[in-house]
Amino acid sequence: MKRPDGRKPEDLRPMEAKVGVIENATGSAMFRIGNTIAIAGVYGPREMHPKRLEDPEKSVIKCYYDMYSFSVPERKRPGPDRRSIELSMVIRNALEPAILTKEFPKSGIDIFVSIIQADAGTRCAAITAASMALADAGIPMKDLVCAVACGNVRDTAVADLNKEEEDVELTTDIPIAYMPRAKKITLLQADGDLTAERFKEALKLGIQGCEQIYELQKKALREKYQVSGEMIEDKD
């Protein structure tokens, strides 16, 4: 199958990643895949407000996802809506297995992710950017989390759906988040119907895509800390 932008089924769109993009955040990152751009800022660990929400055994993770009004052709109404609230929970749940929350009891870690340009795969771009921002903030983690939307388009398994492919009738969208060192999936959703065989093919392409994104995440972190005179240990 020929994809609209000429890619092979396994190909990801062009990508870019940077860390340290928000000056007043504890940690921050930008991730671009195709025309989708996510910027994440992490604040904490810090004292919980209100105090009644603190956990004596671990840090409480809060996530706030927002898509800017100008990020899509049809202007989005400003402020949180049901979708942004749902995706905030999805992103937090995808990231939390990687975070060593017990290192910071009675504290809170706040993650803010903004989509400044959207062309499909926004939740996956948000997860990827937020994971780098957590690492940039020095939050102890088991692994980075990387994410990509794989799927099934016209009975062909593909990696990294774009908006044009998302809008094709009978397309199945499968967002996946993955911890490569642990080989653990932290998010797996499916919007649409497909056979077990096609699902396995799409899942395989998704994991391969996540591994490519993982290398880019590590490269972005290394570049920042090598410049600052520090080094990141690669335990792979």
Cβ neighbourhood burial of 6 (10 Å; 0-12, 13-18, 19+): exposed
Residue 68 pLDDT: 73
User: Does residue 10 lie in a domain region?
Assistant: no
User: Does residue 201 lie in a domain region?
Assistant: yes
Residue 190 pLDDT: 87
Residue 79 pLDDT: 59
User: Does residue 5 lie in a domain region?
Assistant: no
Q: Which domain holds residue 67?
A: 15-223
User: Does residue 31 lie in a domain region?
Assistant: yes
Structure tokens belonging to residue 162:
């774009």
User: Does residue 192 lie in a domain region?
Assistant: yes
Number of domains, the chain: 1
Distance CA 161, CA 150 (A): 6
User: Does residue 168 lie in a domain region?
Assistant: yes
Distance CA 72, CA 51 (A): 38
Domain of residue 130, CATH code:
3.30.230.70
Contacts of 69 (CB under 8 A, 6+ apart): 75, 76, 77, 78
pTM here?
0.90
Q: 159: which DSSP letter?
A: S
Residue 74 pLDDT: 58
User: Does residue 177 lie in a domain region?
Assistant: yes
Residue 234 pLDDT: 53
Distance CA 118, CA 122 (A): 6
User: Does residue 189 lie in a domain region?
Assistant: yes
Residue 231 pLDDT: 45
Distance CA 147, CA 125 (A): 7
Write the CA distances from 18 to 71, 181, 219, integer angstroms. Answer: 20, 21, 9
The per-residue pLDDT string of the chain (236 residues; one tens digit each, 9 = 90 and over) reads: 678 889 999 999 999 999 999 999 999 999 999 999 999 999 999 998 888 889 999 999 999 999 876 555 555 565 567 889 999 999 999 999 999 999 999 999 999 999 999 999 999 999 999 999 999 999 999 999 999 999 988 888 999 999 988 887 667 899 999 999 999 999 999 887 788 898 999 999 999 999 999 999 999 999 987 755 554 455 44
